[in-house]
Each structure stands twice: as structure tokens, then as C-alpha cells.
Structure 1
Amino acid sequence: MGSIFHVICGVYIPPNQDLDIYTTFLNLLQYYFNNMPIIDKIYIAGDFNLPYIEWIDPSTQTYSLPCDTNNALTTTMSIFLRATHTRQYNYIKNNMGRILDLFISNDEACCCEPVLNPLVYIDCLHPPFHVRISWFRQRKTINSDPTLKYYYVDADYAIINENINSHDWLDILQGYPVNTACMVFYEKLNEIIKSNVPVRPAKSTNYPIWFNRPLIHIFKDKEKAWIKWKKYNSIAHYEEFSILRKRFKTLSKQCFNNYIAAIEDSLKQDVKKFWSFIKTTNKKSGIPSCMKYNGVVADEPEKICNLFAKFFGSVYEQSDKILDTVSSPFNDICNTVLSDYNITKDCIIVALKSLDISKGAGPDGIPPFFLKHTAESISTPLHILYNKSLQEGTVPNVWKLANVTPVYKSGNENIVSNYRPISLLSTLAKRVQVDAVYTDFCKAFDKLDQDILLQKLAFNGIRGNLLRWFSSYVKNRSQQVCINGFTSEVIKVTSGII
């Protein structure tokens, strides 16, 4: 089951055993469960031979509890169930009105049912039953923060572009330093977005990705019929359940095959659908709801984000060097000094129109889909901001913040150090980056000394405002860990390049 651990235990205890036998056995089980690092599901089944324990009538619930507290065996069993957070699910009594065969589990989705058509002769002391368990049930993960979501696909971009063009961006931005100008730009842009982009609650579902509405409807009807059959145990209710089950299986197979065919047909055009399907079949999407790092255990989304932030921040190294751009020597083969650079408006438009609209938004919340559909109009304020940034040799702080997503590598999924970070910058920040700078550095970019990098750039002819811009770009960067809408505290990046 990958990194999901199931414990399955078969039990047989002969009749008329002393209390010590049961106590020793249950204590050993409890010790084992409590000392395992991670246990997702526990299943214990077998003949315990406890005829004198009375179990609560399950007519109002799906599990049974021992109810005679004056009995020492009952007390021992009750303590075990509470200590291991398990329940006893078999309620089917034998011909003596007793329950000898127990099914104990911490899986709340368990259901015991009588066997209507047994394959072998029935032992009247041990009536057969079968159990429905959620064997492939996904482990608990961090649920998404139930916030509202902007649906940029449904926006009216004719009106949005008109609103953007109605602003005198030169008059609005030219009087501010680039950091302030960038904040003013986002303030104006977010006002336009709030007025023209539909906002709705984010959609979520627990159904498989290939389920459609008719199939979900049949599934719900089938579950209702199963509950009625279980409650009343009548032939009519069973037949109703059987018909719905058959109908559900047929339609489910049809929906699954249609979905697979659609993925195969669109594989070249949209590979994201394929990987979404792979994630659902692997049952490993999301971060577990309980994480550990350096002896600290976190089971709340914000605390888990902060654990990841602490771990990812630990790889950075603090530099005590001071950059001296004035006395930095030149490369002997370098005959060109580059100190200024300008970006044209046409260059910005081309870059925005070439954006991949399937990508998500960065820390500024502006997705590529919006920028691509407003390329002509939004290029005007961006042209001002980009060139102001280069002329001042300053990168706005909002463009130096990265969202970091933890990605599982290997090992125990509940250990923070078994994840690697994937950084996502704001799209507008990535558009102003220089394509590539080739140096002789190693691949460990998270430990790369930023001052050494800047010395190399100065050595190869990068000077003046442009060198100051590079220095501003790599210095005072920050990042925050984001998981399903929850974010960590912002941490400083003291080495490397995001």
C-alpha cells in the first residue's frame, strides 16, 4: 500500500481461558499499535471465545460496545478498545444468542453484514458474516481552505481591457519609486478584478474524477437502498439495492472507459488530465494531516506549513561577504560593459501572449490566463514598471516573494524532510528575468553564495544599474509554504536563486 500502513490480525483463543491470557494478548496488541510510527488502519478478526460479554444492540449504530462493566473480561476489552481507538463491528449472534467472532477496527467506514448465500455449511456457533472495508480509502490529508475563488475564465475581458486602458498609468506611477509604484499598480488592478471577475466558492468533490452527475445520483440511491436493507433486512429492500448496484456498476464502467478514452485522445494537447488521473489512482494527492520534523509533531494546517518552512529555510547559508562592484576586476577577454537595459512594450506583449494559461498564479494571485487576455492593455503599466525597476536597480519586493509547495520524494510521507520544495514566482516577476546566465557554479543553487554570483557578473562586464538590479534581485528574497490555501510565515532566503 505504498506508505499507507494497514495492520491485519487473525485471532483464535481457545474456550475457557483465564483472564490473564486475554489481558496479556490485548496488552501486547496495544503496545504494538502505540509504538508503530504510523498506522492508518487496524483490522482484527477471529474467534475470541468471549460468550459472557454482552454487546450493545447495533440497531442505532454500525458498531457494538461491551455493556456489562461488572465483568472483568468486559472491562479489559473496553479498555483496549478505548486505548486503540477501535470498535467492534460484528453484531450477528449465534444460536445461543452470543457473539464469539469479533471484528475490531479503527476504520469508521466498516460494516458487517450477514452472509445470505454461504459457500459452505454454516456452523451454528459461528454464523458467517462479511465486512465492507475502505481498503483503498485515501489517507487523511490537509483539507482545502474553504475560501472563495475567482473564475477568470468567465470574466468579460472586453470590459476589463477597457477599464485598464481608462487609467493614465504614466501619471499614476511615474511619481513613485518602483516599490511603491508596484503596490499602486496591484491596488488598481485588483479593484478591476473584483469588479469584473466572478467569485464563487471553490468546487470540491470526494468522488473519483470520472464520475458524472447521473452516476453520482445512482450511487447515492444505491447507498440509501443499502441502508434500508441493512436496517429492515427484507427481501424487497435487498432486491431494490441489487438492481441499483447492478445499474451503478454498468454505468460506472461506461463512465470510466469514456474518461480513459478522452485522456488518450487529448494526451498530446493536455497532459495535465493524464497526471490528474495518475494522482487519483495512486491515492497520494495532498499532504498528510499529521507531519513530523525534528521531534515536533503538527496536526493543524498552519503549523504544518510552518514546519515545512522551517525545514526548507534550514538549507540556506548566510553569507558574510560584502559586494565591491567598484574594484571588481574585469575579465581579460571581456571587451563590453553592460550597465543599462530597456524593455520595449512590444517585447512585453509578445511575452504575455506566449504565456501557458494552464499554469497557476503566484504570490500576487494574478494567473497567466488573465495576463494573456489583457496583454495589449496591461503592457502599458508593465512597460513603466519594468523600465523603472531597471533604471533604479531595484526589484519590487512583491516580485521577490515565492510560494513554495512541498513535493514528496520518498520514505515516510509523514516526515517533513522527505519532501523537496517547488517554488512558484509571480508571473510578472518571471517575465522580467534574464533568460540565462552561464557560470561555472555547481547545481546546488539553494546553497549558492549570492555575492560570489554577483562578483562573477561584475567580472564579466555587468556594471552600473544593471548590476544593482541583479543584486536587488538575489538579495532579500523571501518565500512562504502554501498547502491547499494555507500559508506559513514568510522566511528569508539568504543563499541560492529561487
Structure 2
Amino acid sequence: MSINGTTNCDLYSNLLHYDDSEFLILSFNARSLSNKIIHLKTLLFLVNPTIVLITETWCNSSISDHSLNVDNYVFFRTDRCYGIGGGTIIYVRSDIQACKFEDKSLDAIEDSTWVTVNCGSQNYLLVGCIYRPPHADTKFDRLLTNIFSIASHQPHTFKIVGGDFNLPKITWGLTPVPGRYNKLVETLEICGWVQQVRKPTRGNNTLDLMFTINIDSISVHTSHEFFMSDHRVVLSIIHSLNAIQLNSKASMTYQSRYFDQQTWKRTETLIQCLPWETYFTTNNVDIALSNLYHNLIYCLDCTAPVIDRVAYNANRGQNTFKRKLRKLKYRYYEQNDVYALQSILKLINRNASSKRKYFMNIENKALRSQSPELSILRLFKSRVKSNSLGTTKFFIVNGSIVNDPNTICEQFSKHFSQCYKTGTESSSITFPMLTSRHLSKIDFTPSAIKQAITALKKSYDGGPDGIPTSFVKYGSREFPLFCLKLFNLSMEYGTYPSVWKTSLITPRFKTGPRSDIINYRPINLTSVLSRTMEKIIHKQLLSFLLSASLISPSQHGFMTKRSCFTSHLEFFDQITQRRDVGQSVIILYFDFSKAFDSVSHKLLLLKLSSFGIQNPLLSWLKSFLEERSQIVRFGSCYSKPVNVTSGVIQGSVVGPLLFLLFINDVCSLFQYGKPFLFADDLKVVYSFSSPMKESYISAVIQEEINKLYEWTISWNMPLNVDKSGFIHIGRCLNLNLTVQTHTLKPLNTVRDLGLRYSNSLNFSEHIISQVSKARKLIGLIMINFNNIESRLLLYRKCILPILEYGILVYSNCRHNDLIRIEGVQRKFTKAVLGYSDNKDYYQRCQQLNLEPLWIRRIKLNLVFIYRLINGISYSSVSTPSYLIISSHNLRNKENILAIPRTHTNLRQNFFLICYSTMWNRLPVNLRCSETTTRFKSLLDDFLSESGLCHLLNINVFNNDLYKQGPSSI
């Protein structure tokens, strides 16, 4: 491995003169980092700086964090989303407490990264790394000025912002300043920023700058250029930051239970010897559960004792390598030996090569495992996970930085409990009975319990009660008998065990700045025994509700046979029908605020009673909901218990179904509009003929919005108006719609259940988004995996679901968008087989056993038609006037579908029309297949070139068709 002449020798020699016990910050422009990572590792190994700021990394999402790792450092990166170039990264020594600082205002500049560093004694350092392009316009400079102002008001005691600013016309410390930059320099002075770099960093220009606030004692030096870069390295020594807070070394041991091949045999024997008299004779569910837990924990302690384990260390085996490096570093430091430096580079490069071979061996081992698919997916997840975000150690609470785990834990508890409501229901609310049928009890049978236990996922981690799922699944054949006693006792007395009423909550990040507690949602960890009981209750309760047709056909969430796919089908069928007859369409989108946590227990029980649910099941559900508490776990800290006074339990099995019943009647409010529900996502479609006056249309819609608002007040389910809005398709209307005093905003595009579309029903934005996601993941796959088999497996499991989400609207997409989708697979096959391979797309697909995406769409959509016809997938439009099902019509024994006349291309190309036409062209034996598996098998056999020609009604199947597909599939 060669080095850049004497330049890097001079760089390292110069930097080695500084004491690495000081707080050292290196800053430079790399001009591409991933291909220079060996040199970065050498630099950081020799100099051991505290923080490194790097601009122009030229990284993108296809470059994994794994490829940018440097031993003994954590890093925080920001990549440019579009185009090439740019990008910033901050490396922080791993013994320093640091985490990424995210703020929407500070992140307004795309090429910027911000980090918080704990300096001890409740003092924090804000570190920013910014890249300003050389040809930035005045708009960018205004943004930069605003960011410096915002950064100066952050709650950190000390602030440092460095990077490549490309401001050669400013002579820092001297006047005058060019007029364009007056506002920037003025703001820097007013906010107290001091620019510390005075010597040129590129040629004769000072481009790489370092701005500080409250840093009293600092020395700044410029060294030589970084490898293959024309920017010098800037070294800043901060003498005043000597009390930096260091991370405590993580323990290399942890405790867990030891399970081996004999565990289950020992468990089976021991369980039969334990005393069970109290358990089977008591009529108190809490006593029974206490006795059960006592015996199970005793059994676990005997058969799977808790032992100390050594944590996996990814760097083990590297000790010899590190010793050699230290010797070479000492030799270079003492003797200024260039050959020692060359040896260091060679050794680091050799070690990187060894690691690559090691990762290839792991990949091959995963492919040879008993479940290669699962092993490769786990390996993919571990290799592409972000190392730069990590676990957030600092949170902003009331304008102050908090890093004490106990305080953070209590703040999470406070935040999660704020959405709960107490006693605000009106006592005058009544709800009519919806059915004469009733369900009063759940039948717990040994077979039903055994089926529920068998369906449990294998896990050896103890739940909140300390009982691992695998212990219940494999521990003993007697478990269904124990569960039968406990479940029947609980149901008979209508009592949910008290121990299960305390939920263990873990915060899970949603979106936005990680340092803000409001960007986390609570996840309930529940007992495996509770989940098993709930599954049986859920199954029988849902079966009762569906058999009595008590759940609105507009609801598609949390139910078998219903999904986002069926919701999209009904929704777009309605819109294309209305547009086909020339009507204008207006769609309202409503978002409920904290819907699952806002459910009033009293009002929910009132509704449950109206659905025919009676005691003891009603009493059990009442006990399940009421007198609950929750404890938040953050790291190893636990909050104080907090009462849960409203809401259905997120993370439970029964909770989502209870929410569906609570919101079910909202659909009955709309007389003129057609509602569509997916859990708490509500949209309402209105259609009007052209002659109708705008004032009439507005009045009709406003009346129903008012009804919805009154419903939300009555049932304590407030709307989030900021996230609500409407679009109109067709005739442009100037509507002024309000929710109470808040105006509903008109929208040009929406994201609806993962599908993006515009008010002209253009899906290009959705296609572009999905293609971008797919390409990024393909880049990660190609970089992190070498085996073709691994790449194909990951492509099928991770990429195809992205490209095929929402395929029922693809027949309404532009042909250029469909070509863009197919282009992803064309490039993937080319990359897998090598760009030197001259095979065409057809030959590449044949070699890799892949089908063109447009053929896959035909198959998937025809399978969905089959499922609709045979009632395997639910939809209220699965039997419209043009769908005739042979099992109910003896004159139509061949399952021919009647196709209605259409007037517009929008309707003609819609999924049901387009694929019903194809369905009728299928052979009779294929249409009349008895099972979905049989239908898929026959469809695969039929869709050869001749079958596709017949299906698409074309004469010639050529290479262009294979590569691009037909214009509307």
C-alpha cells in the first residue's frame, strides 16, 4: 500500500508532536472517504484525536456504516440525498459520551452533522460539521446565517462548528467584509462566535474554518494535506476542556438462562413432581397464578439456571494485530521511520482484507445453515444497521439537556401518561343494541390452547414475568392443562389477573429528533401466558362479530382477509367509478390524536354491551381494561408505576380489536360521503355532478364534518386538524371547510397507507420513492454480500416487497414509471452477473431464475382476483354487478366475469376491469382451481410466451416487450 509521497509522512510527523491526552479536534475536507478509509484509520491510530470533523465524504445510502467503522471510534454521518458529492461525518472517540443532536432547524442544511458531547459537571459541548458548496447562492448564505443564530441559542455550554465553508473572500479578523457576507459576519459577532483559523487551508485561501462559543483556551494549527486531498488538516487543541466525561467501560459479562438439549426432558420430569394441589383447587385467579409462577420459576432455576456469559466481542482475535500496531507506532514516533509508517498502512490493509474474508466465511456459513433464509436476513440486518445513531444518551427536556437515566425514565413515564384521560365522559350518553345475538363466554379447550401455544414464536428471553416463550412452547406437555385451569378460572369469575395488569413499557423511536421524548411511542411487553389467553379470546370474539356482521365493511384494519391492499381496492374502485361517469370527487382525510390511548373505558364497555357481549366475558374485558398501571424501562432503569386511566393496550392481542369496536360507528355518520377506515385512519369520498353549485357542495360536506366533530366530542376522540386535509379530483372547487374554528387545508399530494398519489391520480411520486428505496438497499446488498445466492435471496425478500407494494394501481401508472420500476431489476441482474457480461435482460433473468417484474405483477394480481372470487380475501366490491361467481350461478360454470362498459382510460385501466378481462382469457381448468396453491401452479405453467400473448391479446412476444412490459400492467 503506497502513501502519498512525503505529504502523509509530514502530516503524521507533524501531528504526532501533540499530546493526545489533550482535547484534540481534527478537521479536513476528504474529497471522498470510503476509498481512503485505510488512511483515515492510520491517521486516527497515530494521532488519537478526541473528535474528527470531515466534509465532502461523498457517501450515500449504499455505503454501509460497517464500511466506515474505525476502531475505538463511533461516528455520526449525514449523506447528501440527491446528486453526488457533499456529505459530512463526525468521529468521536468511543470513550467519550456523545450522541447525535437532531434539530429540524439545524438540519436545514443538507450537508451538516451535529453531535452533543458530555463535558462533565452538567456541561455539554455542541459540535457541528458543515459543508458549504463553493457556488452556494445567497439563499444558502441566509440559511447558514440563521443556523449559526439558532445554534448559539442551544442549551449547550460550549459550542464548536467546523468544516469547509468556501468563503475565501472573507479575511477573518479584518475589515471590510464583502457586502454579500455582511449579515453572516454580523450575526456571528452578535451571537458570540469566534473564528479561530487564521492560516490558509487550501492553497492561499482559508476555507476550512472553526467557530467557537465559550471556548477560552484554544490553539489552532494547520498541518499538511490529507491523502489525495488538496485541503490541509486543521488541528484544534482545547485546553479548557480537560474534565471531559468518559464512558464507563461496558461489562463483558451478562446473565442469562442456560438452555441445552436436555432442558426440556428435565423440565418434563420435574414439573410432574412439583406440588399442584393449591393450583388446581383454588377458586382465586391471583392465588392460582402466583402458585403457577412459583412452580415455573423454581423449575426454570433447576433446569435452566442463570449463568454468567461473556458478551460477544467483534474485536477478539485482534490483540496480535493491535500489539504490532503499537510497536510500529512507537518506532515511528521515536525514530520518525518512514518504513514503520508504510508497515502500519500495510498491516491495516492486511487486517481489512482478513476481515473481508472472515465476513465471507460467515456469509457462506449462513447459507449452509438449517434455515439459510433467516440466517442471511439476520446477517443483513446486522451489517446494514446504523452505527451512527446508536442509543440516545441525552434528551432535551424543557430547554435543558438531561442525561441521567433515572430522570429520562421518569420523563418518558410522564410523557406517555399525558395522553390518558380521566372521568370526562358524559353520563347521558347511550348506545343502542346492535344485535339480538350475544356472546357471554369463551370456550377454552385443550386443542385451542395447544394450537395457540404451538403458534408461539421461539424465544429464550424472559418476558416481564421472567417466563420465556420457549419454556411454554417446549417445556412440558402439561402446559395446555395448566393454561386450561387458569383461563377457565379467569373467565368464570370475569377477572383478569392482577399481576398482568402492570405493563412494562419500552420507548420506541418513531421519527424526528431522537433527543426529543415526544418522538417516541410506548411498546407494551406482556406475559406469554396473557398473550396465549388473549389469542383464543380474540379469535372467538372476532368470529362472533363477523358472523353477526357487526363490524363495518369500511374497516380494513387488524382483521383476517382484510389489509391495506383490500382498502386500496375499495377506495380506488369508488373513485374510478365516480370519475368514469364524469363526477368530481372530493376526499377528506382525518387523523385522530392519540386515538388508541384516548379510548374511554366506560364508553368502550357501553359499546361492547351493544355488540351483544355479556357477562362473564364483559366483566373480564372490564377487568382487563381497568385498574392498570405501567412502568417504563429505559436501559437498566425503571420508572415509578403510573395509573393507566384510558386507552386500549398497545402491544396486547385484544387491544386493537377493542379499538375497532370503539370507532366502528363513526362510519354511520356519513350519509352523502363513503367512508374508508384502516384502524384509526379515516377518509371520506364525496362525488358530485358538474351542474351542482359550489355552495351546495360545501354545505353538504360541512354538515357531515360537523357531525364528525360532535362525535369526537361525545366519545373523547379528538381530531388532529393539522394532519387532516382534503383533495379534489376533477373539477377545481374553492371549498372553505372547517373543523370547529380550524380550516381544513387543501392538499396536492397525499400519502395514504404507504401509497403516494396526487389530486390528478398520478402515482409517479410513489414510484420514484419506491425505486429510490430499492436502489439504496441494492447498493447495500452488493457492498456487504459477495455470494450470488445471498444477493438473490435478499433481493427477493427485501427489494421485491418494496417494488410490489400497491401493485393494484400500477395498471393506472404511466408507462415511463413502469419502465423505471423494471429498470431496478435490470440493473440488479447486470450488477450481480457483472457489467462485463454481455447477456441481455431475458438471458440474465433465466440464469438467475427471476421473472420480469411486469410478469410477476400479472401473477400476483390474478391470484388476488382468484382470492376475491373465492372469498379468501374480503372486499365489499368483490361481488359487484360485473363479478359473477359460478358457485352461486349454475349457468356460469366456467367462472366468466362480466365486464362493464367504461368511458374513460382511468376506469378502463383500473385493476378490476383490467384483470377481470385477463381472467376471462385464462383456461377453464385454471379459473376453476380448487385451491390457491393449485391456481398458482397452473398459472405458472400457463404463462409461457404463448400464454402471455393470449392473455395480453398480442401477436408477437419480443425482447422489447420482455424488457419493458406492456404499457398498462
Residue in 1 that maps onto 2:436: 334
CA contact (8 A) 2:161 2:212 kept: no
1:467 aligned onto 2:618: yes
Counterpart mapping for 1:187-226 below 5 A: 187-201=294-308, 203-204=310-311, 207=314, 213-214=316-317, 216-217=318-319, 219-221=321-323, 223-225=325-327
Query: Quick one: which amino acid aligns to residue 411 of structure 1?
Result: G
Offset of residue 267 of structure 1: 7.1
Q: Alpha-carbon deviation of 1:45?
A: 8.6
Provide closer, same or farther for how the CA distance between residues 220 and 260 of structure 1 changes in structure 2, counting only shifts above 3 A: same
CA gap of 1:264–1:173, structure 2 versus 1, over 3 A, is same
Q: Deviations 1:66-91 (Å, cap 9, x if unpaired)?
A: xxxxxxx9xxxxxx999549976xxx
The one-letter amino acid of 1:161's match is E
Structure 2 counterpart of 1:497: 648
Aligned-residue offset at 1:350? 2.4
Of the three residues 590, 595, 600, the one matched with 1:444 is 595
- State how 1:474-489 maps to structure 2 within 5 Å: 474-489=625-640
Pair 1:424–1:117, CA change in 2 (3 A): closer
Alpha-carbon displacement from aligned partner over 1:275-312 (angstroms, at most 9, x marks no partner): 33332x353232x1111234464312222111111111
Cα 1:164–1:333, aligned 2, differ >3 Å: closer, same or farther? same
Greater mean deviation of Cα atoms: 395-404 or 221-230:
221-230
The equivalent residue for 1:315 is 419
CA pair 155-194 structure 1, distance change in 2 beyond 3 A: farther
> Is 1:101 equivalent to 2:101 in the alignment?
no
Query: Per the alignment, do residues 379 and 253 of structure 1 end up closer, same or farther by CA in structure 2, a change over 3 Å counting?
Result: same
One-letter amino acid of the counterpart of residue 406, structure 2:
E
1:222-371 equivalences under 5 Å are: 223-225=325-327, 227-229=329-331, 231-235=333-337, 237-238=340-341, 240-259=343-362, 268-270=373-375, 271-279=377-385, 281-286=386-391, 288-295=392-399, 297-319=401-423, 331=433, 333-335=435-437, 337-358=438-459, 360-371=461-472
Does residue 425 in structure 1 map to residue 526 in structure 2? Answer: yes
C-alpha distance in 1 between matches for 2:217 and 2:335: 26
SS at match of 1:414: coil
Deviation at 1:462, TM superposition (A): 1.6
SS state at 1:269 partner? helix
For residues 309-332 of structure 1, the C-alpha deviation after alignment (integer angstroms, 9 at most, x for no partner) is: 1111111112355999xxx98735
Q: RCO greater where, 1 or 2, for CA within 8 Å and sep 6 or more?
A: 1
SS at match of 2:616: helix
* Map of 2:128 onto structure 1: 7
Name the amino acid aligned to 2:274. H
1:347 is paired with a residue of what secondary structure?
A: helix
Report if the CA contact (8 A) 1:154-1:197 is conserved: no
Whether 1:393 aligns to 2:497 is no
Whole-Å separation in 1 of the counterparts to 2:427 and 2:491: 19
Select between 167-176 and 366-375 the one with higher mean Cα deviation.
167-176
SS in 2 for 1:158: helix
Contact 2:495 2:623 in 1 (8 A): yes
Change (3 A) 1:412 1:356: same
If the length of structure 1 is used for normalisation, what is the TM-score? Answer: 0.67
CA deviation profile, 1:174-195 (whole Å, cap 9, x unmatched):
2251112212221221122222
Cα 1:322–1:172 shift into 2, 3 Å: farther
Aligned to 1:97: none
SS in 2 for 1:464: coil
For 1:413-461, what per-residue CA distance to the aligned partner results, in whole angstroms no more than 9, with x for missing partners? Answer: 1110111222221111111112265656979211111222212221222
- Per the alignment, residue 177 of structure 1 pairs with 284
Change (3 A) 1:116 1:321: closer
Q: Does 1:373 align with 2:373?
A: no
2-side partners of 1:43 and 1:227: how far apart? 31
TM-aligned CA distance change 1:119 to 1:303, over 3 Å = closer
Instruction: State the shift of 1:463 in Å.
Output: 1.4
Measure the CA separation in 1 of the matches of 2:157 and 2:310: 31
- Farther off after superposition, 289-298 or 145-154: 145-154
Shift of 1:146: 7.4
Q: What CA distance in whole angstroms lies between the structure 1 residues aligned with 2:426 and 2:526?
A: 27
Mapping of 1:105-120 within 5 angstroms? none
Tell me whether 254-263 or 366-375 shows the greater mean CA deviation: 254-263
Give the whole-Å Cα distance in 2 for the aligned partners of 1:488 and 1:158.
39
Seq. identity, %: 24
Q: C-alpha separation between the residues in 2 aligned to 1:217 and 1:142?
A: 18
SS state at 1:432 partner: helix
1:157 match? 264
Following superposition of structure 1 onto structure 2, how do residues 9-158 of structure 1 map, counting pairs within 5 Å? 35-36=153-154, 42=160, 83-84=214-215, 101=221, 148-152=255-259, 156-158=263-265
The aligned amino acid for 2:221 is D
Unaligned runs of 5+ in 2: 1-76, 79-101, 103-112, 115-126, 132-147, 165-170, 173-195, 197-210, 237-245, 546-550, 556-591, 650-969
Q: Is the 8 A contact 2:159 2:213 kept in 1?
A: no
Q: Deviations over 1:133-163 (max 9, x none)?
A: xxxxxx9899799752224467722112211
- Structure 2 distance, partners of 1:292, 1:118, is 40
- Is the contact between residue 151 and residue 197 of structure 1 (CA under 8 Å) also seen in structure 2? yes
SS class of match (2:456): coil
Matched, 1:403 2:504: yes
Instruction: Supply the distance in 2 between the matched residues of 1:193 and 1:330 (Cα, whole angstroms).
Output: 50
The residue number in structure 1 matching 2:608 is 457
Letter in 2 for 1:486: C
Partner SS for 2:605:
helix
Q: Please list the CA deviations of residues 45-100 of structure 1 after superposition, one character each: whole Å capped at 9, or x if unmatched.
A: 99x99xxxxxxxxxxxxxxxxxxxxxxx9xxxxxx999549976xxxxxxxxxxx7
Cα separation, partners in 2 of 1:339 and 1:45, compared to 1, 3 Å: closer
Does the Cα contact within 8 Å between 1:157 and 1:374 map onto a contact in 2? yes
CA contact (8 A) 2:160 2:212 kept: no
State the shift of 1:399 in Å.
Answer: 1.8
- Kept in 2, the 8 Å contact 1:408–1:420? The answer is yes
Say which is worse superposed, 370-379 or 459-468, in terms of deviation: 370-379
Q: Is the CA contact 1:225–1:237 (under 8 Å) kept in the aligned structure 2? A: no
Matching residue of 1:111: none
Q: Does structure 1 retain, via aligned residues, the 8 Å contact 2:285–2:486?
A: yes
Partners of 2:280 and 2:637 in 1: how far apart?
Answer: 32
Cα deviation, 1:92-143, whole Å, max 9, x if unaligned, reads: xxxxxxxx7269xxxxxxxxxx8899999xxxxxxx77879xxxxxx98997
Q: Which residue in 2 is equivalent to 1:123?
A: none
- 1: CA distance between counterparts of 2:302 and 2:515? 42
Contact 2:158 2:213 in 1 (8 A): no
* 3-state SS of paired residue (1:376): coil
Would the alpha carbon gap of residues 429 and 45 (structure 1) be closer, same or farther in structure 2, given more than 3 Å must change?
closer
Ranges in structure 1 where 5+ consecutive residues have no aligned partner: 11-29, 50-72, 74-79, 89-99, 104-113, 121-127, 133-138
